[in-house]
Amino acid sequence: MIGCVFLPFVAGYYLSYLFRTINTLISGQLSADLGLDAANLGLLTSVYFLVFAGVQIPIGTLLDRFGPRRVQSVLLMIAGGGAALFGASSGFLELLVARAMIGIGVSAAAMAGLKAIVTWFPRERIALVNGYMMMFGALGAVTATTPAQWLLEYTGWRGLFELLALGSFASALLIFWTVPEAARPRVSQPTARELSAIYTDRRFWRIAPLSASCIGSAWSLQALWAAPWMTNVEGFSRESSITRLFIMALGTSGGALLLGTLADWLRRRGIGSEALFGAVTVLFVGAELALILRLPLPSLLPWIVISIVGAATVLSYATVAEYFPRELTGRANAGLNVLHFGWCFIVQYGTGLILDQWSVQEGHYPIIAYQVAFASAVGVQVLALGWFIFPWLGSLGGRLAKFFLRDPEPNRAPVEASATSAEADVLEPEDEDW
């Protein structure tokens, strides 16, 4: 099962992470070779997330109907074609189409792997195998830093994408030839009632804005805007920035396993994933504010926090799974994925649009431009965090009110003898909680 199921799908998920984050490494060369401004660069990178989000729900239906082996094989061939076109492109429109093809091609990487694990592995091992798949897949973000930089010195960004095209084709063939064919149950189309049960659920819309705004922003920063911030705002050299991106990628890989293990440990002590996710998002907002305000601490620390939050889907998916019956959790997670990648698109493209409101000074945008762009995303996260914790605050307020308004002297002296028995009953109610 490890050799014929787990590793082939991990290879596809690894490529998905690599394609997601590679543009942050080649952004400078793309801008120099093709004359791309910040807005075009943001759109080029973020179109991956836009098409990724748009096909999540249809991909879920295809996986249920045709199985992960066939769907993932076909899609990785599309990703390989997109990578080949990207490496051969000479204009912005060609790059945009190629990047969109890559996004479609790897759109099923995570869900296909999870579907395969559920299909072939014992139920009691699923959670552990899921954690390992996310951890190994996130090594694609590690490869998109220092190792890819070594290749760039010999191949250039065009040659690098030709190699990624070959890797995608090889992964598609590996899955098609190696993974066994599973019996496919007859799957009906999702009914309007089932979808309505998800998208009208208050609990879903309580966590979805926070999950999308935080995780989507973390992906956006790591995939594109972290490198320009490090070089233009913090003044690091390209080599130092790549080293920090490498450490961040390791943080994402280790963060998936860390958060999953911590959630399991807390659950055994009566603390659910929802509470841990809320705490993680508070740390995320604090890390972003530390960068924006240029607080006097090592900037690598908040960047590591940001990278770990990129793996916090482990918590939000687990939380959504607690809200719905098992037969609806796949569609609920797909709906949450749409919001994750949709917000990532908005942040990546929107950051470029905001930066373009300032003139380039000494070869880069001024610091204030980056601060305003990053702060705009943080503002949305703060609102989502308030919406998320509001029910807890209301519950806490009710408990405090009950505590302070209760009788401070429940064992009061008897009423005066002149009071009638009826008056005594009114003055001394039998409710012990009064």
**What is the structure's pLDDT at 357?**
93
pTM for the whole thing?
0.75
Q: How confident is the model at residue 190 (pLDDT cuts 50, 70, 90)?
A: low
Residue 388, C-beta contacts closer than 8 angstroms, at least 6 positions apart? 206, 207, 209, 210, 278, 281
Residue 192 scores a pLDDT above 80:
no
Residues 282-290, mean pLDDT to the nearest whole number = 97
Residue 122, C-beta contacts closer than 8 angstroms, at least 6 positions apart? none
Check: CB of residue 72 under 8 Å from CB of residue 9. Answer: yes
352: tokens are 């470029």
Give how far the C-alpha of residue 391 lies from the chain's centroid of Cα atoms, to the nearest Å.
24
pLDDT tens digits, residue range 138-186? 888 889 888 898 998 888 999 999 999 999 999 999 999 998 876 554 4
Break the chain into its structural domains and give their ranges.
2-181+203-402
Class of domain 2-181+203-402: mainly alpha
Q: How confident is the model at residue 99 (pLDDT cuts 50, 70, 90)?
A: very high
